Structure 1
Amino acid sequence: MTKSTLAAPSRRRFLASSAALALTAGAALSPAKLMAAEPIKVAGIYTVPVEQQWVSRIHMAALAAQDRGDISYSYSENTSNSDYARVMREYAESGYTMIIGEIFGVEAEAREVMADYPDVAFLMGSSFKEDAAVPNLSVFDNYIQDAAYLSGIIAGAMSKSGNIGMVGGFPIPEVNRLMHAFMAGAKEMNPEMKFQVSFIGSWFDPPKAKETAFAMAENGADVLYAERFGVSDAAKEKGLLAIGNVIDTQSDYPDTVVASAIWHFEPTLDAAIAAVQAGSFTAKDYGIYSFMAKGGCSLAPYGTFEGKIPQAALDLIASRTAAIKDGSYTVAINDEEPKSS
């Protein structure tokens, strides 16, 4: 693995609703050029540090693919949105076969770059869908609503006040759908559950997230949904419980974090690698590979909370998990902004 220092520090921006989708058509990928000898040369471009929750899951999957010899991996972190297109071009010009990353804040510019490099496969986090005009772009997002729903069941069972606080970064689809699924799970245990919902306007501002969570605690919440860093710190200081998101932080908060909905990016990346190897990579939505049935998400182990979660919740989680995996139960996907109740 090689870490690049091509880009200047910045935080990931909120996706502008006015991002342009009209793009110049790019030529189809050339199978001959995509049939690269192993390992595939892959670059990651991230707008935040690789330690950040969401990006850390992509980074870990890439490291795993490198360890088994499928890819050679380099990356740039803290790449500003204003610099993203330039970094994409530098990697494309340097002979990389695949580029992975996140284009939520640079949709139009990024797709213009991709059209200029039709023989490079791009696998990018995006709130938009694939576009036949850019056949070398496949999109993904963390569709881990299945695990979020199950974690909500636990929250609903553990809450004594019937009041749950939820702190998110921005009200964009990838956050909204998880919050809605979590709320649906909590209502399985208590149909009258109340929710306080707030967004801090940042992907990484632990002090602000903590302050927001404190206010929710003062307003009666006894369980906090920690979509952002800082929320679990507030729960710990107030003696409340927290539910994690994307990564498992229970080892850091053994008396606070009851459960977490974990994103596994490996199925998404592995499917893309296989397509590149076969010379069949094309415009596609890889979101389904984050579903539980594909191994893309799970509940973290309960750890220190083993034996402390009501049996009724555990029984419902077991039955729903089996039904989700065999397709007989589907967790609703709702990308609309959630509201406090």
Structure 2
Amino acid sequence: MRDRRLSPHSGLISRRGLMKRSLAAAAATSLPLRAFAQDPISVAGIYTVPVEQQWVSRIHIAAEAAKAAGQITYTFSENTANTDYPRVMREYAESGVKLIVGEVFGVETEAREVVLDYPDTAFLLGSSLPADPEYPNLAVFDNYIQDASYLSGIVAGAMTQTGKIGMVGGFPIPEVSRLMHAFMAGVKETRPDAEFQVSFIGSWFDPPNAKETAFAMIEGGVDMIYAERFGVSDAAMEKGILAIGNVIDTQSEYPKTVVASALWHFEPTLQAALANIAADAFKADNYGVFSFMKEGGCSLAPLGTFAGKVPQGALDLVTEREAAIKAGTFVVEINDTDPSI
């Protein structure tokens, strides 16, 4: 089953093309996939937005890579409304799917009611709540890519001319707030006097709204903008300022705009879940740790078109901090508070 209720937002075709390129890159460069001496594990994805959306695309790409490796069978539904989410969970569970992945940030309580009704199904869901032994077949995860966000901030601080930086996000939930705080901490390393404008658009996928919000910030004097949502880099490109990407690398679409991006790699998270299912050891647990840089769950995208344009001092600091993060001698603070307050 595949739900094709695609959003009519402009730019969707190019986003799908970008995701195809990302999938090919993931297959070529991601961590080696673990082999399991058994039949493929049946997996279903349930997503509240199109699979092109940054966050969800990383889950989708990892699942497609596992499918290509013969580890899993994979089907998915996209643009599933929160009100429909529990019903779709039940439909997949009733069909005998072994693992259900997705995100339940807007339907936490209802999703857990479904989980209890299907104890033989493993659920790996993005959630703001911690793992709970009362739901033994539910493991939670999050994109804890604060390490990469911090490194992207170092680059941003070195590239801004005015020191005024805009930040446009979806919602001020912990998953977004921690990345913004880490980014700002990185900026302060190379631009201590930086000033930030922070806005949230109240949607996970509304490029026109994000674009207009970015325009307002640019009119307010920012010359560097953190693109947590689609649409922000479009505004930056039109106005001739620089942007920092989030979760995915969009530099190929914005070669003169996107300087750097903090990338999320869902492969370590999915592989850990599949290994535990294969070993009959899946349980309530926090899989968010597999997004940390030392686990291979995030990275700073190659500078690409901006190679040679970022000050060497900033690059040296990025190299130093990256090595320390991976060694565990430098820890990027996880701050989940609303950065707009």
TM-score by length of 2: 0.90
Cα gap change, 1:153/1:94 in structure 2, threshold over 3 Å: closer, same or farther? same
Deviation for aligned residue 1:5: 2.6
Distance 1:258 1:6 in 2: 33
Task: For structure 1, list consecutive stretches of 5 or more residues without a partner in the other structure.
Answer: 12-34
Task: For structure 2, list consecutive stretches of 5 or more residues without a partner in the other structure.
Answer: 10-35
Equivalent residues of 2:154, 2:314 under 8 A apart: yes
Cα gap change, 1:86/1:6 in structure 2, threshold over 3 Å: closer, same or farther? farther
Cα gap change, 1:89/1:37 in structure 2, threshold over 3 Å: closer, same or farther? farther
What are the residue-to-residue correspondences of 1:92-111 with 2, within 5 Å?
92-111=93-112
Equivalent residues of 2:6, 2:50 under 8 A apart: no
1:80-132, Cα deviation, whole Å (9 max, x unpaired): 11111111111111111111011111111110110011111000000001111
Distance 1:224 1:8 in 2: 28
Q: 1:290 is matched with which residue?
A: 291
Cα gap change, 1:303/1:69 in structure 2, threshold over 3 Å: closer, same or farther? same
What are the residue-to-residue correspondences of 1:261-276 with 2, within 5 Å?
261-276=262-277
What are the residue-to-residue correspondences of 1:17-36 with 2, within 5 Å?
none
Distance 1:219 1:121 in 2: 48
Q: 1:15 is matched with which residue?
A: none
Cα gap change, 1:7/1:93 in structure 2, threshold over 3 Å: closer, same or farther? farther
Deviation for aligned residue 1:339: 2.5
Q: 2:222 is matched with which residue?
A: 221
Opposite residue 185 of structure 1, the aligned amino acid is G
Q: 1:167 is matched with which residue?
A: 168
- After superposing the two structures, state which structure 1 stretch, 208-217 or 310-319, moved more: 208-217
**From 1, 4, 18, the counterpart of 2:2:** 4
1:251 maps to 2:249? no
1:23-80, Cα deviation, whole Å (9 max, x unpaired): xxxxxxxxxxxx9942001110111111111100000000111111111111111111
TM-score by length of 1: 0.90
Distance 1:284 1:231 in 2: 35
What are the residue-to-residue correspondences of 1:1-341 with 2, within 5 Å?
3-5=1-3, 37-339=38-340
Distance 2:201 2:313 in 1: 34
Percentage of matched positions with identical amino acids: 69
Deviation for aligned residue 1:214: 1.2
Count of aligned pairs: 315
Opposite residue 5 of structure 1, the aligned amino acid is D
Distance 2:136 2:6 in 1: 29
Equivalent residues of 1:170, 1:202 under 8 A apart: yes
Equivalent residues of 1:145, 1:181 under 8 A apart: yes
1:140-191, Cα deviation, whole Å (9 max, x unpaired): 0100000000000000000110110000010000000000000000000011
Name the SS of the counterpart of 1:82 in structure 2: coil
Distance 2:78 2:207 in 1: 19
- After superposing the two structures, state which structure 1 stretch, 128-137 or 214-223, moved more: 214-223
